[in-house]
Amino acid sequence: MIKCKTIALPMVFIALFSGCYSFRGISIPDEASTFSAISFEDQTRGGNAPPPTIFNQFTESLKDKVRNETKLNLVNGDADIEFSGGITRFDVSYEAPSANDRAIGGTSGAFNRLTITVEVNYTYRHDDTKNWKQSFSFYDDFGADQILSDVQDDLIKTIFDQILEQIFQKAFGDW
């Protein structure tokens, strides 16, 4: 009886944890083993100037996410899956309290909003029908009394985390 428990318990853990990838809902075809991410470019038009390091920061963050959360190996050059594109919007806007805030007695006042939009070209070399081009956008708010340069790094990280998750789900959750 003890032998059965000794064998059964590890088997239960293996069964539970071997399916962790499937809980995220990602799926990567067997023939895909490599990916590349071409440096994302500045494609913003007017508005606020993004920090010069943001493009490399996004590209490296995308590489890290795919490398850490999939079985794919990063390569320079031809890959089974390729990401490319650019940051098309880096915009700070002033947001006044809404009529709804005032109507329900809200205490929220005016704030600033940083919005970033990234356009992604996804190429899957083994099946052209899986290729896509899409824009992903997210924003984060900061106090009207705060200066962007003081909070910019944290805002960009929060926004990139959300955009990267959207891209990841589009790329690997739709097979």
Structure-model confidence comparison of residues 90 and 22, the more confident one: 90
Average pLDDT, the chain: 85
- Which residues have a Cβ under 8 Å from the Cβ of 60 and sit 6 or more positions away? none
**Cα dihedral angle (98, 102, 106, 107), rounded to 10 degrees?**
90
pLDDT digits (tens, 9 = 90+) for 160-170: 999 999 999 99
When mean pLDDT is compared across 23-27, 115-119, 167-171, the lowest value belongs to 23-27
Global model pTM greater than 0.85: no
- Percent of the chain beyond pLDDT 70? 79
pLDDT given at position 109: 73
120 forms beta bridges with 85, 134
What domains are defined for the chain? 27-172 (3.30.160.150)
Mean pLDDT of 127-133: 95
When mean pLDDT is compared across 83-87, 109-113, 167-171, the lowest value belongs to 109-113
3-state SS string for 11-76? HHHHHHHHCHHHHHCCCCCCCCCEEEECCCEECCCCCCCCCCCHHHHHHHHHHHHHHHHCCCEECC
Structure-model confidence comparison of residues 150 and 47, the more confident one: 150
Mean pLDDT of 138-161: 96
